[in-house]
C-alpha cells in the first residue's frame, strides 16, 4: 500500500505569494520529497492611502496649495487611487450657518 500527503515548503507566505507544495509518498518505509509543513496560508494584504495639503488653511481663495499623496502596505499589483478634494469657501460656510439659524 502506498500512502501520500500534500506538504508545503512554508506555513505562511507573504501577501500575493503562492504556497509551494509537494506530494509526499511513503513507499516501503521511505518518504519522498522534502517539504515538511502540513498547511500553508497567505499573510493578510494591507493597503493604506492618505492625502495632505500644505498650507492647510488660510484666507480664500487659497492658492498655491501643494497636495501630497502617500500610499503604503503590502498589497501588490496594479492599484488605482482616486482622491477627491473638497474645498469649502469660508463665505459658503457662513452662508450655510446663517440659513440653518433662520430655519430653527
At residue 79, the pLDDT reads: 79
How far apart, in Å, are the Cα atoms of 71 and each of 14, 49, 52, 75?
A: 19, 4, 12, 11
* Spatial distance between the Cα atoms of 42 and 19, rounded to a whole number of angstroms: 8
Going by pLDDT thresholds of 50, 70 and 90, the confidence category of residue 33 is: very high
**pTM of structure:** 0.56
Tens digits of per-residue pLDDT, 35-94? Answer: 999 999 999 999 888 888 888 887 777 788 888 888 888 888 887 777 776 666 555 555
At residue 36, the pLDDT reads: 97
Contact 35, 6 (CB under 8 A): no
More confident residue, 67 or 24: 24
At residue 86, the pLDDT reads: 67
Amino acid at each position: 500500500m502506498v500512502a501520500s500527503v500534500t506538504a508545503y515548503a512554508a506555513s505562511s507566505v507573504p501577501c500575493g505569494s503562492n504556497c509551494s507544495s509537494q506530494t509526499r509518498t511513503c513507499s516501503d518505509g521511505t518518504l519522498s520529497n522534502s517539504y515538511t509543513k502540513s498547511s500553508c496560508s497567505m499573510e493578510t494584504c494591507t493597503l493604506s492611502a492618505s492625502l495632505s495639503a500644505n498650507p492647510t488653511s488660510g484666507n480664500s481663495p487659497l492658492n498655491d496649495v501643494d497636495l501630497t499623496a502617500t500610499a503604503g502596505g503590502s498589497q501588490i499589483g496594479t492599484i488605482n487611487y482616486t482622491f477627491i478634494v473638497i474645498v469649502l469657501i469660508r463665505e459658503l460656510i457662513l452662508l450655510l450657518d446663517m440659513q440653518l439659524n433662520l430655519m430653527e
